[in-house]
Amino acid sequence: MTRLTELQLRFAAADFLSFREVAPGFIVIDVATPFSKASVALQGAHLMTWQPKGHKPVIWLSKAAKFAPGKSIRGGVPICWPWFGPHATESSYPGHGFARTIPWLLLEAHRLPDRRVRLVFEPQLDETCRSQWPHPSSVRYTITLGQELVASLATTNTGDATFTLGQALHTYFAVGDVRRIEIAGLEGCPYLDKVDGGKRKKQKGRVTIAGELNRIYLDTAGCCGIIDPAWQRTLLITSTGSRSTVVWNPGKENAARMGDFGPKGEDRMVCVETANAADDVITLAPGETHRMTAQYRVIKHGG
């Protein structure tokens, strides 16, 4: 029995789900609710798309995205875990951790009483993962889909020693024109400017994007908004269990070098990431659980 057939049989009663294989060994779950539609790859438990009814897509997925086992997807919501950026001591380990490129298991799929849909995933760690992350731990990723989207990543230290955890929901948001947007809620925050050698700076006014931008905002308050005049909406991002916010756009030259952004893809997206990174990593004692949650919703202008 193929993996696709096994999933179709196991979740046959869940009429809000369907499964498809978009490339050999690469399975995608399509989810339909009365409020929105979404797609999630089993690799990385990677939310690829989410679009509430009556709105343009909220999550950006590159038209040139590649789907292959072990390769990261350009767009959607990659999970960076259990470290953010390069590994602290081993440069050969994958940037942003291994979670986004390994298989995850769909543990549960439920329709809630209010007709939202909840999916629960668990990573399938192999020996390579365990050698790179030797800390006994349990991970659950929960996605709740409705008129709003809620994504929650919970890590439990199941061992006897304290460890340090870095993580992010590396969310690519769709925008009408990145050069016209403003990001509110980060005013006055200190940040590390990765484009300028990691220098520590302080945000003045709202964040705007005129080219390559890569910043880790520290000690953030857990609420910010992407104000998008081209599409006449604000994307409201609220979070808990997150002490930093990453804002990223590769700019034209970097996007062209990457090869999977598509024509002018960088003009139609911005990453605003709910994170624990740099100075704001998490120290998790034995038996402790840390839960990082992000909620996304659309506010129409003039509506």
All residues at 6 or more sequence positions from 109 whose CB lies less than 8 Å from its CB, including other chains: 11, 14, 16, 17, 117, 118, 119, 120
In sequence order, which residues have a C-beta less than 8 Å from that of residue 289 and are 6 or more positions away? 154, 155, 156, 157
Q: What tokens appear for 83 in the block?
A: 């470290």
Token reading at 77: 């919501």
Whose CA is closest to 119, among 21, 45, 36?
45
The C-alpha atoms of residue 103 and residue 113 are separated, in whole angstroms, by 30
- Whether 192 contacts 202, CB under 8 Å: no
In angstroms, the CA 135 to CA 166 distance is: 13
- List active site positions: 170, 273
DSSP string, 36-75: EEEEEETBTTEEEEEEETTS--SB-B-TT----TTS--SB
CA distance 268 to 179: 9
